[in-house]
Amino acid sequence: MRRTTSSYFFILTAVCIFYFGSLYLVSRTTITTDESGCLNFIHDDNKAMAQEESERIINPEEKVFIDDKSTNDKNPVFVQSSTLNQDNDDDETTLVVTYPTDENINSTTLTTPIITQTQEGDRANAAIVILCRNSELPAMRRTIREFEDRFNRKYHYPYVFLNDEPFTNTFIKSIRQLTNAPTEFGLVPDTMWSVPDWVDEKQVEEALADYASRNILYGGSLSYRHMCRFNSGFFYNHPLVAKYDYYWTWINNISIISTDPILQIKYRRVEPGVHFFCDLDYDPFVYMQKNNKLYSFTITLVEIPQTIPTLWDHTMRFAHQNNIKTNFLRMFGDEENGYNYCHFWSNFEIASLDLWRDEKYQAYFDYLDSTGNFFYERWGDAIVHSLAAGMFLNKSQVHFFKDIGYQHDNFAHCVDDGVFGKCMCPENVANFDYNGWGTCMPKWDAFPEEGIRWDFKSNGDQIIGEEAKIISKPEYVSKSSKKSSFSNKKASTPSSSSSS
């Protein structure tokens, strides 16, 4: 019996040695059988997968941009380097050129991760500035949670919360539970959130009733007008904001149901708040600071025309009075067709506070404010900021953050950066960039980087383009002796300033 057991044990040991030895030899031997063989197919497939993965490993320090039209008639997205070599054990650098496909030319739907880098340890004098109310706490908590997870848990930029009413202790304690970053909570003073004394309050009431009867979005809201005026001309000088150089703002306001007959867009009620879809492994404040970027956006779209019937004309008057020289303003309109209603949506803004503190912008705001049309009409801060950027900036100073996935209400900038990327846009959220009715991204893409000359003269002349074409617009010459200049605090009010 003992001999039989020993025999069985010997045979079992031999079989195990043979089996595992065969596996070892197969794993160490280069397969040279016919290409249709099963093992060779597995080997080649694994090799191809490993090579594909190695080509996704991007070293930002070695990234080089090229334009080799002899290889492909489309500009490559990037040249990336990889040190993984499948054929030998030595490290070897392999350059891999990735070209955009026809499907993603001029699109934010990407097949490769977006690589933007800032030096670790660099920091800007910046804050997250949020205008909100106590009633918006649930939506704000959700947004702060997302924003912390995506970005600020790593960078700890301070938050400044502003409200036209005092924040409750519940609101303050609840927000502070979500972040280790410094938080400040401030009250907007009445001087920044009231109807100024040169505005006829009875006429304002009539305007609110008229806009509400026409079912224009936020048309009947006085509070919305206060918010737009505050964001246009005051927030950057608020005591809690005054110490910073850059800001990032997003607005958590509740949608209302409205139908606009011009745009034919029905605003459905959605859960209030904003959402962020991408991890940010770099500092956008530092990126803007080091690259001379003064304003940025994620969504650009058209405005409801009825809300701003005279804003473009007033902007033209201001430009003529101050002999403004521009090369970016034609992104938003021209001398023949007027305003195209495009603007950068200020629900998301990262910008330099000095842009708004500059005397040129302050003079522009003072001129607009003197008309009373923040109240008689329904001028939005997004339009004011956009037209100011058009007058005072070059396109190179404005940045499109294509790698920040963002949603506010029904509008979203979604990023598909591939299976190796860091963005996850919900499947039921559509990318507005090129698919939404009213998007202005094609205009942004088409506008030349060097800009188009458009200079304004106080005599009503306009000088346009490289050929210096001169046209006359006498209707924009002020008939008043008072001028809205960079040295005057208040402008004269044109005869049409109180129209609604």
Which residues are annotated as catalytic? 349
297 — phi, psi (to 5°)? -155, 165
Between CA 480 and CA 371 the distance in angstroms is: 14
Phi, psi (deg, nearest 5) at residue 382: -65, -40
How far is Cα 253 from Cα 114, in angstroms, rounded to an integer?
Answer: 30
Nearest to 430 by CA among 445, 446, 444, 409: 409
Q: Which residues contact 60 (CB under 8 A, 6 or more apart)?
A: 115, 117
Which pairs count as long-range contacts for 419-424, CB under 8 Å and 24+ apart, including other chains?
420/56, 420/112, 420/113, 421/110, 421/112, 421/113, 421/114, 421/278, 422/113, 422/278, 422/279, 422/281, 423/277, 423/278, 423/279, 424/277, 424/278
In this structure, are strands 325-326 and 183-187 parallel, antiparallel, or unpaired? unpaired
Can you spell out the DSSP letters for 158-220? -EEEEESSPPPHHHHHHHHTT-SS-EEEEEPPGGGSS--TTS-HHHHHHHHHHHHHTT-TTTT
| Structural element, H or E, at residue 2 | helix 2-28
Total Cβ atoms within 10 A of residue 448:
11
